[in-house]
Amino acid sequence: MNRFLSHATNRIDAKGRVSVPAPFRSVLQERQIQELYGFQDFVFPAISIGGPELLERIERQLGGLDGFSEEAHQMSLLVHGGGVFMKLDSEGRLMVTDFIRSFTGITTEVTFVGRADYFQLWQPQAFLNAQQAARLAHQRRSAPAN
């Protein structure tokens, strides 16, 4: 399996580190991803993390815009300036910075969520809530009649 799937919750240690789940690490290795880049999700209170190609994909969406437009300027501010580098230590752990904590509400535990080509960091309860909300919304769409 070379895509990010499933989810797992790990604890943050006294130094603010958390282990990336082993399945995710092996996906990173298979995909030869050396550098990790993370940024705030546009919709959910979660940090999305992926390799350089994830960044490029988003930039390509930007590329269609007028380079001088205010919109392109704003998106560049979000994507280029709003992101952070994430480095794994030799054991495959990453630092949970204040930047990540304040945006996600993460305190002591992190839920890693696979999103196929990238994965996300969530505050555990927030993930459960969002999942629940998504399920309800889907049911409403599938069976509009009460």
φ/ψ of residue 122, rounded to 5? -130, 150
In angstroms, rounded to a whole number, what is the distance separating the alpha carbons of residues 129 and 10? 18
79 vs 95 by CB, closer to DNA: 95
Residue 10 contact among DNA, a copy of itself, none, beta carbon within 5 to 8 Å by kind? DNA
Q: Shortest distance, CB of residue 70 to a copy of itself, whole angstroms?
A: 6
Q: Shortest distance, CB of residue 102 to a copy of itself, whole angstroms?
A: 10
Residue 66 contact among DNA, a copy of itself, none, beta carbon within 5 to 8 Å by kind? none
Q: Shortest distance, CB of residue 88 to DNA, whole angstroms?
A: 8
In angstroms, rounded to a whole number, what is the distance separating the alpha carbons of residues 140 and 146? 9
Q: Token pair for residue 74? A: 């704003």
- Which contacts of 96-101 are long-range, i.e. CB under 8 A and separated by 24 or more positions? 96/12, 96/16, 96/17, 96/18, 96/121, 97/16, 100/38, 100/47
Binding site for a copy of itself (CB under 8 A): 1, 3-7, 23, 35, 37, 40, 42-44, 52, 55, 61, 67-68, 70-71, 73-78, 80-85, 113-116, 120, 127, 130-131, 133-135, 137-139, 141-142
Residue 101 contact among DNA, a copy of itself, none, beta carbon within 5 to 8 Å by kind? none
Residue 60 contact among DNA, a copy of itself, none, beta carbon within 5 to 8 Å by kind? none
φ/ψ of residue 7, rounded to 5? -150, 160
Question: Are the CB atoms for 70 and 56 separated by under 8 Å?
Answer: no
